[in-house]
Amino acid sequence: MSPTKIEPEEVEGEIIGSTDYFFVKVGEAVPLKSSDFNFEVETLPSQAIAISERFRLTFVAHSCGFFVVRTKDLIDSANEFKEKRNGSPVQQLSLVDVSIGRIRSLTLSTDNLTLAAVTSLSGDIRFYSVESFLNKEVKQSFSCSLDDSALVKDMRWITTQKNSYIVLSNTGKLYHGEIGFPLKQVMDNVDAEFGT
């Protein structure tokens, strides 16, 4: 069965990207799955949600990967839970369920075209085409790994360079990367916490 192509919604006016969000509770909490489900406290993702304004998609980490869901569907379900005490969990709303193991963080590139998924139990970072999720496809465009047995402590996109990012390992090494190229170590003995 071939994937169904879904066209992005047409919207009037100019979309202005922002990293400043103000969340207002629009309904009740939406469960991840229909069955009872909890993250283990020791393995909670540091960044479990990423939101693409450009494609109106929300990426939500779960215990074995992440869900991709239309933001509007998520809001509608939250309202259903509030008004009718019954709605759909994220799993049922999802366009795609990407199973890659436990997620440490989900981050979108500054142009909203690429999603980076950092896994918890390895030093792997996997990059996906955001637009492919609209077609219910999973297109991993690139992946990279840290040296040795190091884990990714944090990963951030650089806003001044397209498709460029920095990675901090749990061993104190700082790396610079670009999509399609191997990571380059730029510093040792870094002890830092990235701000949000």
Q: What is the CATH number of the domain that holds 170?
A: 2.130.10.10
Residue 158, in any domain of the structure? yes
Q: Round to whole Å and give the CA distance between 123 and 73.
A: 33
At residue 118's C-alpha, the angle toward residues 90 and 44, to 5°, is 60
Residue 139, in any domain of the structure? yes
Q: Round to whole Å and give the CA distance between 56 and 73.
A: 10
In which residue are the tokens 């390895």 written? 122
Q: Which segments of the chain have a pLDDT < 70?
A: 1-27, 36-42, 192-196
pLDDT at 191: 77
Residue 13, in any domain of the structure? no
Residue 162, in any domain of the structure? yes
HEC-encoded secondary structure of the chain:
CCCCCCCCCCCCCCCCCCCCCCCCCCCCCCCCCCCCCCCCHHHCCCECEEEECCCCEEEEEECCEEEEEEHHHHHHHHHHHHHHCCCCCHHHHCCEEEECCCEEEEEECCCCCEEEEEECCCCEEEEEEHHHHHCCCCCEEEEEECCCCCCEEEEEECCCCCCEEEEEECCCCEEEEECCCCCEEEECCCCCCCCC
Domain extent for 119:
45-187
Number of domains in the chain: 1
pLDDT at 1: 47
pLDDT at 4: 54
Residue 14, in any domain of the structure? no
pTM, full prediction: 0.80
pLDDT at 19: 62
| Token pair listed for 188 | 């040792």
Residue 153, in any domain of the structure? yes
Residue 35, in any domain of the structure? no
Residue 196, in any domain of the structure? no
Residue among 85, 45, 87, 41 nearest 66 (CA): 45
pLDDT at 25: 63
